[in-house]
Amino acid sequence: MKKVAFEQPVLKGEITVPGDKSISHRAIMLGSIAKGKTSISGFLDGEDCLRTIDIFRQLGVNIERNGTDVTVESPGMQDWHQPSDNLYAGNSGTTARLVLGILAASRITCVLTGDEYLSKRPMNRVSIPLKSMGASIAGEADSNLLPLTITGGALTPIDYEMPIASAQVKSAILFAGLTTGGQTTVSEETVSRDHTERMLEQFGADIQKDGNTVRVTGGRMLSGTDVRVPGDISSAAFFMAAAAMIKGSSVTFKDVGLNPTRTGILDVLKAMGAKIDILEQSDGLGEPYGTVNISHDGLHATEISGELIPKLIDELPVIALLATQAHGVTVIKDAAELRVKETDRITAVTTELKKLGAQIEETEDGMIIHGPTPLTGGTLASYGDHRIGMMAGIAALAASGPVVIEDPSCINISYPTFFNDLEKLAFPVK
Ligand code: SPQ
């Protein structure tokens, strides 16, 4: 349990949030697939990324971590060892799904497992296209659920049209395509985060992007390189939303990732009335990042749907909270994917925010939120989901009484220093 209480807070100051989770995973994975040495700076030492490190160590890759600096030295995927135990992905959907794509194309036979939450999440979205490439993946519910047994082998390229916008599915197929003897094509209707494509290019893969289509030609040996991981905009989003929500607030985010496939939160905050200033922007080693200031400047409702959804999918819990304090009716739709995250985030968000007095309704693919509504204190469940736990922590800033978070340790999955940073930024109004 964690009790979070503030009396009339205002958020002020500057923050550098921890490294991007999606990019940290991919840096370990590509550093392990590639031959030679990869140096990563700004790595996220959250639980999910540590699970990815554990898995590749079990395959014989030498990975040394010194805080947020990580060195990966790999013989290349052709020379990985057979692991002596099951590979455990913990709570991490990204680890499980991307590793499935990688191992399907390797020389390894192994069993991939996860925690109680991950073991309920669908894996067919990757096993079906991988099987059509010739992958051998076996497990419960027609290989939809972990644990899964993967027998790596030679795969054939495919031309795949994605039925859902998912960077995890796209990445698993592109990784599997690396070892085939031809060109694998993945097309998506709405573009999902493109970190894999960017990093594949950095590691020397033969990859081309053409609108919403990505093509990778297999057979090229990847070489180790340097990766700089920017701050995670999905972590920053909690304090960005808080700064937009609380009158008098102004927070500057340094070195935060500004990849356009991830910046939907900035579009929404702007549409809701927040003041946003991009103070600096650069393109360091493949990923755009910069310094952004967000300040409160009134707050009104908006509609969030369509192509915007993949650009802010993980931010929707905190956006829903923000909408409880905005004038008007906020509608979130086309977000049914929220139901298959670490928990069903539509049910979790509506159930927990109602406990504080929010007027929020669940729909099949989103939420409808009426605001502004005064929030009270209360005891909120995290459902073992870091994003729900952090939403509860931010809710305490707007609530009239303390918010108690049950099972807050899940926040370590993506943001181990969340509560310290919250305390640093939130000041009582004098
Ligand atoms: O890794 P995991 O557990 O799936 O993490 C989440 C999160 O909230 O951190 C989703 F639950 O982020 C996903 C994201 O929703 C990370 C991700 C990636 O790194 O490729 C892509 C998104 O998922 P998807 O299914 O849309 O590809």
The pLDDT value given to residue 430: 52
Q: SS3 for 328?
A: strand
Last residue of a domain, one of 228, 257, 277: 228
Is residue 177 one of the residues assigned to a domain? yes
Does residue 385 lie within any of the structural domains? yes
Is the distance from CB of 239 to CB of 424 less than 8 angstroms? no
Q: Are residues 212 and 306 in the same domain?
A: no
Q: Per the domain annotation, does 252 fall within a domain?
A: yes
Ligand 1 atom at minimal distance to the Cα of residue 340: 11
Q: Both 106 and 221 in a single domain?
A: yes
Ligand 1 centre to CA of 37 (Å) is 27
Q: pLDDT tens digits, residue range 359-379? A: 999 999 999 999 999 999 999
SS (H, E, C) 127-196: HHHHHHCCCEEEEHHHHCCCCEEEECCCCCCCEEECCCCCHHHHHHHHHHHCCCCCEEEEECCCCCCCHH
CATH code for the domain in which residue 192 is found: 3.65.10.10
Is 115 designated active site?
no
Same-domain status, 124 and 88? yes
Does a structural domain hold residue 347?
Answer: yes
Ligand 1 center–CA 192 separation, angstroms? 10
Q: Which of 99, 186, 265, 341 to mutate to test the pocket of ligand 1 (most atoms within 8 A of CB)?
A: 341
Cα(81) to centroid(ligand 1), Å: 28
Residue 161 lies in a domain: yes
Last residue of a domain, one of 228, 246, 270: 228
Give first-to-last CA distance, the chain, whole Å: 29
Q: Which amino acid is at 63?
A: I
Does residue 430 lie within any of the structural domains?
A: no
For the whole prediction, is pTM greater than 0.75?
yes
Ligand 1 atom closest to the Cα of residue 314 is: 8
pLDDT for 45-86, tens place per residue?
Answer: 999 999 999 999 999 999 999 999 999 999 999 999 999 999
223 is a domain residue: yes
| Ligand 1 pocket, residues with Cβ under 6 angstroms | 21-22, 48, 92-94, 166-168, 171, 192-193, 313-314, 337, 341-342, 387, 414
Same domain, 25 and 131: yes
Tell me, in angstroms, the distance from the centre of ligand 1 to residue 310's CA: 10
Return the H-helix or E-strand segment holding 75.
strand 69-75
Q: Using one digit for the tens of pLDDT, what is the confidence trace for 183-220? A: 999 999 999 999 999 999 999 999 999 999 999 999 99
Same domain for 242 and 181: no
Count: domains in the chain: 2
Kindly give the parts of the chain with pLDDT less than 50: none
In a shared domain, residues 315 and 224: no
From 314, 334, 344, 385, the catalytic residue:
314
Which of 196, 307, 314, 412 is the best mutation target for the ligand 1 pocket, counting ligand atoms within 8 Å of the beta carbon and taking the most?
314
Q: How far is the CA of 93 from the centre of ligand 1 (A)?
A: 6
The pLDDT value recorded for residue 428 is 77
**Residue ranges making up the domain that contains 98:** 21-228
In terms of domains, do 147 and 164 share one? yes
pLDDT value for 284: 74
